Chains A and B, each alone.
Chain A
């Protein structure tokens, strides 16, 4: 599970009377257990591709099959349910809910399940254990450093055990040390927990941690050389 197959994907935004093509007939396969770094200049369509894989945007045409499901055909509540079970999102600005503690933020996706309070607690503690923050469960986001906030966000992304993690510039707002910790954590999730990861980044050092590098330019894929991580 977690494999992504994209065929002839087009995404066109409308700005008033103009049509702005962002992705133009893109096709790509991401294998289960892969760790892909998506790079490219601003406006190249990286985030749009990530949004389409995550089912938070709809393609203009083409096929997006994630874990065997053609999500381009899904809409509304069905798509939301699928997202909550299959995808973990990690954002550049962490996007934690400020009025909830670390524990409660991680618990959020589980509120949509039928798990009991005790079961939810077990899952949350396990996730916070993976990111090494079990001692910060009662801290609010404002009481955490940027790196810790991002780790809580990662715990939230993995708490419902999705096969695919989508990270949009996960280290873009962090200092070098915290960034390295987050990248190490993502690598661990990929290697140890077999998560398929697609990471958008501008940082070549971050991209090096991935097993595969994909360049996007003006909505079209460029050559994809192997990364140092893949070589290792």
Chain B
């Protein structure tokens, strides 16, 4: 600790260079944190998935439905514990800009299978008792000011409304969640209500996707294979996969985001390393004579090397602290703007921790050669340069 002031003074002796270096590090840390947060947000669905759940969809396309009649056959298969189903409802609240996911679910079985949506019992009962009822997430409720008992008009696009253009759903329950990666911006409504309308249009008895709960997650592949085999000769063949894999399919629709982010991140880290290494190399070279003086006073090579290394780490860690703070502010500001695409976009500890590791590694790598130079400098040689 007694050397801390000495390290700080050395790190900031060339103020302009120190400030520019810290700014470079901060900007890089902001970039790394945001990119990492984007990846996390894109894969949040996959992270929130459960290993004991499989998703069964139409083999040809996710856009095509499956018959409700498959439910009983799936339910009777070995290894299957429970079955539920749901459908993407689509529709818009007032305007297309007000996007949020609206999902028609088989209410009782769905919420039994997805305990991560935490709903008060009385509200759940109210929802189940009203076919026009809906469940909304806490964040959605806050965003649009929806309260229990409010009627939410949804303009139908995929599914035409019973009368006019607009479906009307009554908010009967508001869910919260404690599970990381679960979105609180969704709206759930009764599939039965939707099916009534579709039956009127002679398109009843169809569902979007089945979700299966299995007894043993280690047998997921075998059960998935068995389900697909069961419907191999049916008019609508199925594609069964784990819930995680199903969620990742959505991420892949955007391209290989993770790869792209890694490439950009690596470029940023490399550029950052050059900046930090250059700063430390210049700092150490300029101070060769001082290093010799300190050695003359009795400072050992190892101690001087450690001081130089600590100086490098101090610069990168100060840059990291500023960058992490900025990233938090930026993410907070941006999350509202991009919630339509990435509802779970929020800076978490993981990117901050990753950026800290990167900062420490860069500090160490950029400081190691100047530190070795300081440790190995011979007093007499360096003193000749002074003279």
Whole-angstrom distance from the CB of A146 to the nearest CB of chain B?
Answer: 16
> How many B residues face the partner with a CB closer than 8 A?
24
Return the 4 tightest CB-CB contacts between A and B, nearest first: A84-B298, A99-B9, A56-B379, A99-B13
Q: Would A98 and B13 count as touching, CB distance under 8 A?
A: yes
CB contacts (< 8 Å) of B302 on chain A: these are 77
Cα of A76 to Cα of B295 in the assembled complex, Å:
10
Query: With A77-B302, A111-B3 in contact, do A54 and B290 touch (Cβ < 8 Å)?
Result: no
- Residues 92-125 of A, flagged 1 when their CB comes within 8 A of B and 0 if not, give 0101011110001000110110000100000000
**Residue contact B380 to A56, C-beta cutoff 8 Å:** yes
Is B299 an interface residue when CB atoms closer than 8 A count as contact?
yes
Q: For the complex, is B294 an interface residue (Cβ under 8 Å from A)?
A: yes
Known contacts A51-B379, A80-B299, then 6 further A-B pairs from the complex at CB < 8 Å, ordered by chain A residue:
A54-B296, A77-B300, A84-B297, A84-B298, A95-B289, A104-B6
| Nearest opposing residue in chain B for A159, CB measure | B297
Do the beta carbons of B289 and A80 come within 8 Å of each other?
no
Contact of A104 among B5, B290, B296, B301 (CB under 8 A): B5
Query: A residues touching B (Cβ–Cβ < 8 Å)?
Result: 51, 54, 56-57, 76-77, 80-81, 83-85, 89, 91, 93, 95, 97-100, 104, 108-109, 111-112, 117, 156
B9 (CB) vs chain A CBs: closest residue: A99
Q: Bound state CA distance, A51 and B380, in angstroms? A: 8
* B2 CB-CB contact with A under 8 Å: yes
**Across the interface, do A112 and B299 meet the contact criterion of CB distance under 8 Å?**
yes
B278 contact set on A, CB distance < 8 A = none
Closest to B297 in A: A109
List chain A residues, Cβ under 8 A from B299. Answer: 80, 84, 112
* Cα distance, A207 to B211, chains bound together (Å): 98
Q: Which residues of A contact B383 (CB under 8 A)?
A: 51, 56
Within B346-387, which residues are at the interface with A (CB < 8 Å)?
379-380, 383, 386
Using Cβ atoms and an 8 Å threshold, which residues of chain B touch A111?
2-3, 6
Residue of B13, B293, B294 ringed by the most chain A CB atoms within 10 A: B293
Which residues from 320 to 339 on chain B have a C-beta closer than 8 Å to any C-beta of chain A? none
